[in-house]
Amino acid sequence: MLYVLLILAVLIAGILIVASTKPNTVHYERSSVINAPPEKIVPHLIDFHKWEAWSPWDKLEPDMKRSYSGAANGVGAKYAWEGKKKAGAGSMAITEVNSHGVKVDLRFIKPWKAECIARFHFTPQPNGTDVRWSMDGPNTFMGKVFGLFMNMDKLVGKDFEIGLAGLKTAVEKG
């Protein structure tokens, strides 16, 4: 029994040591070409009411509690959500809108607290606009441990890919 406890303690210590070597920040990013100019894409990003049509997280819990405040759209627009199961809770605020993209202040409350910056960056292409969706934020110690067992880039990236596909459909449909 003592050997089992010793092995378990060494295993836990090893996990904690490896986790402590992980970066203190995270960066997730995906992109997609949307067959439209930026001025046709921006309205779908700066009005949080329009996110329900394409956001992968809005589809997790269609009946989650949502609230909107601040400006109707653009800089100062705010959105908060509170799910009962999968969506967690948090808030977003549009902090910057220009010809190169949109910046969103993102604050998670549940299942864990984190403050991140999400950006939608536009790059003109011959057939439309390359929209790059990125998110940067802190990598907490628990996030580092979780990241040893789950590929967070793949997990978040999948949601970004679904969201960009939904955004592409919403924009191109008009």
Identify whether 111 is preceded by a cis peptide bond (ω within 30 of 0).
yes
Q: Could you tell me the pLDDT band of residue 165, with boundaries at 50, 70 and 90?
A: very high
What is the phi/psi pair of residue 110, to 5°? -130, 145
- Say whether pLDDT at 30 is over 80: yes
- Tokens read off for 38: 């930026």
Q: What is the DSSP letter of 151?
A: -
- Say whether pLDDT at 23 is over 90: no
Which residues, 6+ apart, have CB-to-CB distance to 37 below 8 Å? 124, 128, 129
Say what percent of the chain tops pLDDT 70: 100
Say what the pLDDT of residue 134 is: 97
Say what the pLDDT of residue 90 is: 94
- Tokens read off for 164: 């960009």
Neighbours of 83 (CB within 10 A): 20
The model's pTM is 0.86
Torsion of CA 163, 86, 59, 102, to 10 degrees: -40
Say what the pLDDT of residue 170 is: 96
Structural domain boundaries of the chain? 2-173
Scanning the structure block, which residue is given the tokens 């978040």?
156
Task: List the strands of the sheet with 101-110, edge to edge.
Answer: 25-34, 128-138, 114-125, 101-110, 89-98, 77-82, 65-70
- Say whether pLDDT at 18 is over 80: no
Q: Could you tell me the pLDDT band of residue 39, with boundaries at 50, 70 and 90?
A: very high
Say what the pLDDT of residue 160 is: 95
CATH of 2-173, one of 3.40.718.10, 3.40.50.720, 3.30.530.20, 3.10.180.10: 3.30.530.20
For 100, what's the count of Cα atoms within 13 Å in the CB-facing half-sphere?
3
- Closest alpha carbon to 81 in 40, 49, 53, 54: 49
Rounded average pLDDT over 25-53: 95
- Say whether pLDDT at 19 is over 80: no
The mean pLDDT of the chain is 91
Dump pLDDT digits (tens) for 88-147.
899 999 999 998 999 999 999 988 788 999 999 999 999 999 999 999 999 888 888 887
Which residues, 6+ apart, have CB-to-CB distance to 11 below 8 Å? none
Angle at 101 between CA 99 and CA 104, to 5 degrees: 140
Say what percent of the chain tops pLDDT 90: 60
- Say whether pLDDT at 63 is over 90: no
